[in-house]
Amino acid sequence: MNDTIIITGANGNVGAFFAHEYAAKKQKLILIAHKSDQRIADLRNNKNVEIIFIDLANLAETKAKIDEIIIKTGWKPTRLIHTATVRSHDFKPLVETEPELWSNIINTNIMGTFNLLKSVLPHFIANQYGKIVLFASNVTRIGLPKGSAYSASKAAIANLSRTLAVEEANHNIIINTVSPGPIRIDESSFSESYRKFREEYYEEKLREIPLKRCATFGDLFGICNFLLSEDNSYITGEEFYITGGKL
Ligand SMILES: NC(=O)c1ccc[n+]([C@@H]2O[C@H](COP(=O)([O-])OP(=O)(O)OC[C@H]3O[C@@H](n4cnc5c(N)ncnc54)[C@H](OP(=O)(O)O)[C@@H]3O)[C@@H](O)[C@H]2O)c1
């Protein structure tokens, strides 16, 4: 079986967890990392895994490297999980936000998603098969004060999947968005001010979550794995909020 899952943000918190879950199932994986592959270093010599480094903000690089790895391996990409993102690190109201910071987040998160889909979809179309999960966030429905660029970019991603579900239905391609609420992640690399911003945000949000906890990586894996499985042949263009009951 050459069936292959492509995971972006594979060195991120969620991406690395997914990479390890699928690697344990001996699934063929193309893992897209950006600056580092430290969290998935143990998979470097796994024969079912290819790790490549791509700046998704660059279309030419994204397309060339994805085409190259598919030709080199002879693997057949059938599923895509897109977790790569620039986080919301502005923590300022929009009026105080520098245009450069805004455009960096928008460029990576929206154009990066466009570049990725533009590079992967032709392979799915050639195979007349594809299943895609794009990661957004529950900020698509509640907004994110002091995170306008991130929340705008995530809303764009969710809407993109609605559009592509219609555009690509005739190619047997299914695409959905997963929008989690707060997730507990490794914060060791964050600046003190960003940690403080998250702490306050999480404290407030946790009070509002009926299940009284953040989503785990396992919670996210469960829904994504279902959406990408053969059991899902009819759900497309939907956005799933993984928020422990918080509307
Ligand atoms: N964590 C949460 O609480 C939370 C809540 C709601 C939604 N989400 C969503 O869930 C998804 C996964 O979150 P996460 O916590 O796993 O994020 P994360 O740990 O920050 O991982 C994101 C990854 O994206 C990569 N990336 C950034 N810019 C890139 C670029 N230009 N090209 C390619 N890759 C790039 C980063 O690589 P480098 O570090 O090497 O740049 C990083 O490994 C994201 O889409 C996020 O928006 C997360």
Q: Angle at CA 44, nearest 5°, toward 69 and 14?
A: 90
pLDDT of residue 89: 67
pLDDT of residue 90: 65
Q: Residues 99-158: pLDDT tens digits? A: 999 999 999 999 999 999 999 999 999 999 999 999 999 999 999 999 999 999 999 999
> Which H/E stretch holds residue 5?
strand 3-8
For atom 20 of ligand 1, which residue has the closest CA?
12
Name the residue among 188, 228, 231 with its Cα closest to residue 78: 228
How many other β-carbons are positioned within 10 Å of the β-carbon of residue 12?
Answer: 23
Determine if ligand 1 sits within 6 Å of the CB of residue 48: no
CATH 2.40.10.10 fits 3-242, yes or no: no
- pTM, two decimal places: 0.97
pLDDT of residue 192: 87
For the chain, residues with pLDDT lower than 70 are 1, 89-90
Where in the sequence numbering do the catalytic residues fall?
150
In the chain, domain spans: 3-242
* Alpha carbon of 86 to ligand 1 centroid (Å): 6
Q: Angle at CA 48, nearest 5°, toward 43 and 52?
A: 60
- Residue 49, strand partner residues: 29
Spell out the residues 6+ positions from residue 4 whose beta carbon is closer than 8 angstroms to its own.
Answer: 27, 28, 29, 30, 73, 75, 76, 77, 78, 79
Q: Which of 13, 153, 194, 195 is the pocket-test mutation for ligand 1 (most atoms within 8 Å of CB)? A: 13
pLDDT of residue 164: 98
pLDDT of residue 163: 98
* Alpha carbon of 157 to ligand 1 centroid (Å): 14
Q: Which of 17, 30, 38, 83 is the pocket-test mutation for ligand 1 (most atoms within 8 Å of CB)? A: 83
